[in-house]
Amino acid sequence: MIPDDTKLYFMSAAALEGLSDAPAGGLVPVITWQEGVSPFQVRDTFDRELRTTGRMLIELEGGAEVLSPGSGSAAQPDVGGTRFVADFPEGPVKAALGGLSPLRCLLPVGAGHLRRGTLSLLDDEQKTRARAVLLHLDATEGGALTIVQLQGLRGYDKALARLREMIGAAGGKAFGDDTAYTQLFPDLADYTPKPVVPLDRETKAFDAACDIIAAYLPVARANEAGVIADDDTEFLHDYRIALRKVRSVLSLFKDVYGAEQTIELKGRFSDLMAATGRLRDLDVYLLEKDAFYALVPDSLHVGLDRMFALFAEQRAAEQQALARHLRSAAYRKEIAALCKLFDKRRKLARGGKADKPAYDFACRLIWKRYRKICTIAEAIDAETPDHEVHELRIHCKKLRYLMEFFAPLFPDGPFKRLIKPLKKLQDNLGLFNDYSVQQESLQAFLGGLDGAEPGNLQAAQSVGALIVVLHGRQLAERARVVDSFAAFNSAETRQTFRDLFHGGKE
């Protein structure tokens, strides 16, 4: 029986063969391969959630197997082709896929052929003392990898330790980091939705801005294919976040680019964003569907059915339109031109602050923004109109962007201590905003409903009830704002802001 400390290793095929000659303390290592090979496919989410957590999902013959560093291998038949982790039937594979985002679809990373085998340590009576299950993966793209899963036999701990030693000596490495992937799929492109842009204190503001934009444009581009194929809703979400970051650099890094240049660029990026807004709104509604149903009594669900059916219809049309747009020659030309502009940079008009050192520049911007937030927030009470709360939200968002862009310039610890309470405040303001935006768009939906059409009256009733509930929620969030801000702006936070961005001064 397999003891709990099952371990996964990986090595090259040559290293494995070399193992036959290794000293085995009187035992004899024997490798046997099963006849024949079977096709396999490795899948992962687009942002490599499995890869970055050291796991590998291998699909073969209708079933699937997940290799995880801690628990070894988990296999389950009849789950091949399942796209979202939530859609997997309960079982070992689903359990091993724990922690994956429910929103992300599992896409092919690479494919090839797989062979199974066994590595055994035999004693003088041909009794197996220790064993490892072998999986040899031969990728179509050129890489190869042998995965070695140790299986102890009860009562033979010494032999297991010996086998582990032999595998280590032959160059076997513990499975669980990126190298297994790079060995199997050497040409795999890198992708991270949050690129880290290195900066130092003397980096010129212009270069910092261009570096950040040049890092985020490829993120947007990398998500185009997934939006077009409609693999999952996160592609569009990440596409929009990347473009929003670009746009926020343009508006937050004042006078780094020439005034006209800034206006022109902002316009171009806003146009790119505009094409995506409606689809994202519909995605959010459809993702929140269950939550909406939970907000109103069962008797009003029929009306929601009607509404969500209409949303789904609209979404399909929007998705096709956006896919067409992203495939169009005009879009491709525009995005390529923008990429080139920020790669080459020669054609970008520089502004008055272009040559400022990034550190001074960052301190000034962050401090100013923080002070502004304090001024607005300190004036907020129960009577303050909503639009001022919205303004506070926008300033907080900008502060957050600034802090994230310039994070490499500041000490990690104090910086994180600021970000954490800021996030909390933003969550509160974010919900306040979401509820208000949802009410507005539901109002708009109501306005557009043709009352004469059958079923629409019911839909209107349900939507009306929904708006009432959302309004209540918005009020509740609104009531929390004063406290949230107080929690954020503690004496410690104030001191840290002064220390980090204002030379310790008030």
Partner 1 sequence: MKIIACYSNKGGVGKTATSVNLAYALAQGGRRVLLCDLDPQGASGFYFRVKPSKKLTDTRFFEDVERFTKAIRGSDFDNLDILPANMTFRDFDIFLARMRNSRSRLKKALKAVKGDYDVILLDCPPNISTLSENVFRASDAIVVPVIPTTLSQRTFEQLKEFFREHDLPAKKLHGFFSMAQGVKSLHGDTMDEMRREHGKRLMKATIPFASEVERMGVHRAPVLASAPSSGASASYGALHDELVARVFGK
Which residues lie near partner 1 (CB under 8 A)? 1, 3-4, 123, 125-128, 152-156
CB of 121 to partner 1, least distance (A): 11
Q: Which CB atom, from 123 or from 427, has the smaller least distance to partner 1? A: 123
Q: Which CB atom, from 1 or from 330, has the smaller least distance to partner 1? A: 1
- CA-to-CA distance for 504 and 438, rounded, in angstroms? 42
CB of 72 to partner 1, least distance (A): 13
CB of 151 to partner 1, least distance (A): 9
- CA-to-CA distance for 217 and 345, rounded, in angstroms? 14
Residue with tokens 């920020």: 342
204: its two tokens:
């010129």
Pairing of strands 28-33, 72-76: unpaired
80: its two tokens:
């091949």
457: left (phi over 0), alpha (psi -120 to 50) or beta: alpha
Q: Which CB atom, from 91 or from 195, has the smaller least distance to partner 1? A: 91
CB of 157 to partner 1, least distance (A): 8
413: its two tokens:
């610890």
Q: Which CB atom, from 154 or from 346, has the smaller least distance to partner 1? A: 154
Bridge partners of 64, per DSSP, are: 59, 76
Q: Is 460 exposed, middle or buried (0-12, 13-18, 19+ CB in 10 A)?
A: middle
**What helix, strand, coil percent values describe the chain, rounded to 5?**
60, 15, 25
Q: Which CB atom, from 126 or from 447, has the smaller least distance to partner 1? A: 126
CB of 120 to partner 1, least distance (A): 8
CB of 21 to partner 1, least distance (A): 23
Residue with tokens 């209409």: 310
CB of 423 to partner 1, least distance (A): 41
Q: Which CB atom, from 155 or from 451, has the smaller least distance to partner 1? A: 155
Q: Which CB atom, from 4 or from 383, has the smaller least distance to partner 1? A: 4
Q: Which CB atom, from 121 or from 300, has the smaller least distance to partner 1? A: 121
Distances (CA, A) of 170 to 33, 67, 77, 118, 163: 19, 21, 33, 16, 10
Report whether 303 contacts 461 (CB < 8 A).
yes
139: its two tokens:
């990728």
CB of 177 to partner 1, least distance (A): 27
CB of 82 to partner 1, least distance (A): 25
Q: Return the SS3 of 296.
A: coil
Q: What is the CA radius of gyration of the chain?
A: 28
Distances (CA, A) of 85 to 97, 101, 469, 505: 7, 8, 32, 51
- CA-to-CA distance for 498 and 506, rounded, in angstroms? 6
- CA-to-CA distance for 70 and 176, rounded, in angstroms? 9
CB of 69 to partner 1, least distance (A): 19
CB atoms within 10 A of CB 191: 14
Q: Which CB atom, from 128 or from 261, has the smaller least distance to partner 1? A: 128
CB of 76 to partner 1, least distance (A): 15
Pairing of strands 63-68, 173-174: unpaired
- CA-to-CA distance for 316 and 368, rounded, in angstroms? 44
Q: Which CB atom, from 55 or from 129, has the smaller least distance to partner 1? A: 129
- CA-to-CA distance for 434 and 161, rounded, in angstroms? 57
Q: Which CB atom, from 1 or from 382, has the smaller least distance to partner 1? A: 1
